[in-house]
Amino acid sequence: MSAHAELLREFDTNGYVILRDVLDAAEVSRLATVVGENTHKILDKRGKSPDERALVLDFLGFDEGLVDLVDHPRLLPVVAAILGSNIYLYHTHWCVAPSLSGQTFPNRQHFLHAHNDAADASAEVIGADTFWRWHRDGGQINNELGPHPQPRLSLKAGVFLTDLSEPSGGNMAVVPGSHKRDVPLPCAGAPADAGVEILARAGDVVVFDRRLIHSSSPNLSSRTRMVLFYGYSYRWLRPRDEMTVERYLDSASPVRRQLLGATSSAYAYSSPSWKDVPLAEWLAASGNVAGPLEEL
Ligand X SMILES: O=C(O)CCC(=O)C(=O)O
**What residues line the site for ligand X (CB under 6 A)?**
95, 137, 156, 172, 214, 216, 227, 229
Q: How far apart are CA 226 and CA 93, in angstroms?
A: 11
Q: How far apart are CA 144 and CA 29, in angstroms?
A: 41
DSSP symbols for 205-272: EEEEETTS-EE---B-SSS-EEEEEEEEEETTSPPSS----HHHHTTS-HHHHHHTT--S-SGGGTS-
> Is 78 or 280 the residue whose CB approaches ligand X more closely?
78
Closest CA to 38 of 91, 96, 92: 96
Strands 154-160 and 225-234 come out as: antiparallel
Position with the least CB separation from ligand X: 172
Query: Considering the complex, what minimum distance in angstroms separates the CB of residue 240 from ligand X?
Result: 10
Query: Considering the complex, what minimum distance in angstroms separates the CB of residue 224 from ligand X?
Result: 13
> Is 59 or 229 the residue whose CB approaches ligand X more closely?
229
As to burial, measured by CB atoms within 10 angstroms (0-12 exposed, 13-18 middle, 19+ buried), residue 230 is buried
> Is 139 or 146 the residue whose CB approaches ligand X more closely?
139
> Is 90 or 269 the residue whose CB approaches ligand X more closely?
90
Query: Considering the complex, what minimum distance in angstroms separates the CB of residue 172 from ligand X?
Result: 3
Query: Considering the complex, what minimum distance in angstroms separates the CB of residue 142 from ligand X?
Result: 12
> Is 88 or 229 the residue whose CB approaches ligand X more closely?
229
Query: Considering the complex, what minimum distance in angstroms separates the CB of residue 289 from ligand X?
Result: 28
